[in-house]
Structure 1
Amino acid sequence: MLIKKSLNANAVIAVDLDEKEFILFGKGIGYGKKTGDKVDETVVNQTFIPLSNSEIKEYVSLLESIPPVILEITRSTVQHAEKVLKCALNVNVYFMLSDHLNFAIERQKNGILVQNRVFWEIKNYYTTEFEIGRYALKLIMQDLGIKLPDEEAANIAFHIINAQTDDSTKKDGMNYANLISGVVSIVRYSIGKQIDTHSTHYQRFITHLKFFSERFFSDSMLIEKNDTLFEQIAISYPEATEIAFMVKDYLTSVYEKHIPKEEITYLSVHINRLLNAQEIDDGKHV
């Protein structure tokens, strides 16, 4: 592969033998390079294949405006995220996240604070992604000596959540967080007692809500095919089922979507586990 253009020290546009254009990232890959130089493939960390000429122009303009150190922080953060999450992220995260970090650092220098409205939800419901965000903040402090607030860790988490997909439909972290927050509020209020947010049952409940959110926003909720199971759960766990229907009414009201019985069934099961956990904890203090 030959270099067509050096964007900065850590990014270049390269062409292969078929004259296909690629954006390549790597620490020092563009340092001192000129058009026509061979690419040092030993320092290539990620290859990008833009889908159209208009896209590559947009990315080129973006990358040329971002300092190399921020591109390197982005690359390290994404690689760390893929290792922790054990999945490949959508390559667009490199462009979107580097642009966000560059803007966040500029805001910090100018004393501008932008409040994250769902900071608490992201921190508590997307703990892995939030910690990845904190990892990025540590790199920024280490490499630039700039301390960004923890709210920026949640903003970074948004990009990581949105990038966890292999298709063109991106996850919307803010929508997910808002839905989960609303459901959890209803369940906690209905139970009427303090829930141990560190318990296994609570963590499983949150995990269930994350997968439910994916199905909900992608219109791929579970199909109603087992009325018998629904009836059994409704009879066995009446209190949990009642709370699940409160959740259903809330979601239908806010999002105007039908919630199948199959989803209500599994939601009832998880709520019942929380109820049982509360009864056990209460028994310890009798």
Structure 2
Amino acid sequence: MELKPGESATIKRVYNNNVLLAGLPDGSEMVLVGKGIGFNHRQGETVDVEAADQRFVPDGSFAASHGAGVLGDAPLEQIEVAREIMAMVQAELRLEPRLSLLVPILDHMGFAVQRAREGIKVDFPLRWEVAQLYPAEGNLGRRVVALIKEQLGVQLQDEEWVAFALHFVNQQWSTSDFSKTVSMTETIAKVFTLLSVRWQSNIDENAHSAARFVTHLRFLFARSAKATTSAVLGVDVFESVRQAYPEAAEAALEVAELIGEALNRHLGADEVSYLALHTSRLYVEMLKTENSP
């Protein structure tokens, strides 16, 4: 929210010299972050929101007070790194800097740094899946680990990039339920395993058709989270695929059943038709690869 001319924000709580929670004239709240913005200020005073380096309003995932609390507990140098990460995410993944991303990134960074300093190792079982299914987020996650070493002088466990990448994927769901992102990742990996077993062939997950399929599956999960459905095709695409590539159509039915179990709902005819379009493209590409000299 932008303040109108003549309006001011009121300090509701000062967490430290660099983080405070402000109340706006419409009754909403805003987290203000900036070096020294809370210095020598008290509850009830007015504050110039333009003086903040960054301003965050709640987006439904976290209350402003919760976000301010996490920021208030974090060392300033980690907040600065988190802000750099947010800028990278905005530039490379086209995601807006939101409190729902800043809070889990900062929270995870704090625990990861603590684990590294104490020599504690943890397991990241989705390394392969994340690398294959989310290459852009995975590459950014690796750069985040390098940035933390550069800025904080702490070498995180190499595999920490996996968790950061999943946070970036999770943000694209517009949900704070991280477990749904993990479930989606596991399910998409199972889909490719299912197809590879059915067709007795390894699928090139770096191929264009595979990347498009992954994107479609991600949007399918996102639509389910928002209780929306796919666009109506208006034609019997599934029957067309069945006639041209019966194996791809049967595979789409199995994929639909697998995804339906993960989402705890039955996929409609149009959603199955979309799956059939993608499985047919994968199937044709696989046949071309096998028949090439």
Aligning the two structures, in what range does the TM-score lie when normalised by the shorter sequence? 0.7 to 0.9
Q: Secondary structure at the match of 2:56?
A: strand
For the residues of structure 1 that align with 2:156 and 2:71, how far apart are their CA atoms?
A: 22
Q: How far does the alpha carbon of each residue in 1:164-216 deviate from its partner, in whole angstroms, 9 at most, with x for none?
A: 35578889311210121111111122121222232212212222222222234
For the residues of structure 2 that align with 1:129 and 1:21, how far apart are their CA atoms?
A: 31
| Structure 2 residue corresponding to 1:119, chosen from 112, 123, 127 | 127
Q: What residue identity is the alignment partner of 2:78? A: I
- The structural deviation recorded for 1:140 is 0.8
Give the equivalent residue in structure 1 for 2:54: 45
Residues 199 and 220 of structure 1: is their aligned pair in 2 closer, same or farther, counting only changes over 3 Å? same
Give the equivalent residue in structure 1 for 2:291: 283
| Structure 1 residue corresponding to 2:149, chosen from 138, 141, 153 | 141
Check whether the contact 1:8–1:68 (CA below 8 A) recurs between aligned residues. no
- The structural deviation recorded for 1:98 is 0.8
Q: Secondary structure at the match of 1:149?
A: coil
For the residues of structure 2 that align with 1:24 and 1:191, how far apart are their CA atoms?
A: 55
For the residues of structure 2 that align with 1:251 and 1:166, how far apart are their CA atoms?
A: 20
Residues 123 and 242 of structure 1: is their aligned pair in 2 closer, same or farther, counting only changes over 3 Å? same
Check whether the contact 2:142–2:161 (CA below 8 A) recurs between aligned residues. yes
Written as runs of structure 1 = structure 2, the 5 A alignment for 1:28-39 is: 28-30=35-37, 32-35=39-42, 39=48
Q: What residue identity is the alignment partner of 1:30? A: I
Please tell me the root mean square deviation across aligned C-alpha atoms, in Å: 3.1
Report the more deviating stretch, 219-228 or 103-112.
219-228
Residues 99 and 20 of structure 1: is their aligned pair in 2 closer, same or farther, counting only changes over 3 Å? same
Give the equivalent residue in structure 2 for 1:196: 204
- The structural deviation recorded for 1:96 is 2.1
User: Which structure 1 segments of 5+ residues have no match?
Assistant: none
| Structure 1 residue corresponding to 2:218, chosen from 203, 210, 218 | 210
Paired positions, count: 282
For the residues of structure 1 that align with 2:31 and 2:173, how far apart are their CA atoms?
A: 21
- The structural deviation recorded for 1:100 is 1.4
| Structure 2 residue corresponding to 1:58, chosen from 62, 66, 70 | 66
Residues 254 and 140 of structure 1: is their aligned pair in 2 closer, same or farther, counting only changes over 3 Å? closer
Q: What residue identity is the alignment partner of 2:278? A: H
- 2:250 counterpart of 1:242: yes
Q: What residue identity is the alignment partner of 2:212? A: R
For the residues of structure 1 that align with 2:228 and 2:248, how far apart are their CA atoms?
A: 24
Residues 85 and 273 of structure 1: is their aligned pair in 2 closer, same or farther, counting only changes over 3 Å? same
Residues 128 and 31 of structure 1: is their aligned pair in 2 closer, same or farther, counting only changes over 3 Å? same
Q: How far does the alpha carbon of each residue in 1:234-269 deviate from its partner, in whole angstroms, 9 at most, with x for none?
A: 112211001112223333455542122222222122
- 2:104 counterpart of 1:110: no
For the residues of structure 2 that align with 1:211 and 1:20, how far apart are their CA atoms?
A: 31
The sequence identity of aligned pairs, in percent, is 24
Check whether the contact 2:57–2:99 (CA below 8 A) recurs between aligned residues. yes
Give the equivalent residue in structure 1 for 2:3: none
Q: What residue identity is the alignment partner of 1:246? A: E
Give the equivalent residue in structure 1 for 2:93: 85
User: Which structure 2 segments of 5+ residues have no match?
Assistant: 1-8
Residues 252 and 198 of structure 1: is their aligned pair in 2 closer, same or farther, counting only changes over 3 Å? closer
For the residues of structure 2 that align with 1:109 and 1:50, how far apart are their CA atoms?
A: 33
- The structural deviation recorded for 1:84 is 1.3
Report the more deviating stretch, 212-221 or 263-272.
212-221
- The structural deviation recorded for 1:56 is 4.6
Check whether the contact 1:14–1:39 (CA below 8 A) recurs between aligned residues. no
| Structure 2 residue corresponding to 1:251, chosen from 252, 259, 279 | 259
For the residues of structure 2 that align with 1:50 and 1:198, how far apart are their CA atoms?
A: 34
For the residues of structure 2 that align with 1:277 and 1:259, how far apart are their CA atoms?
A: 25
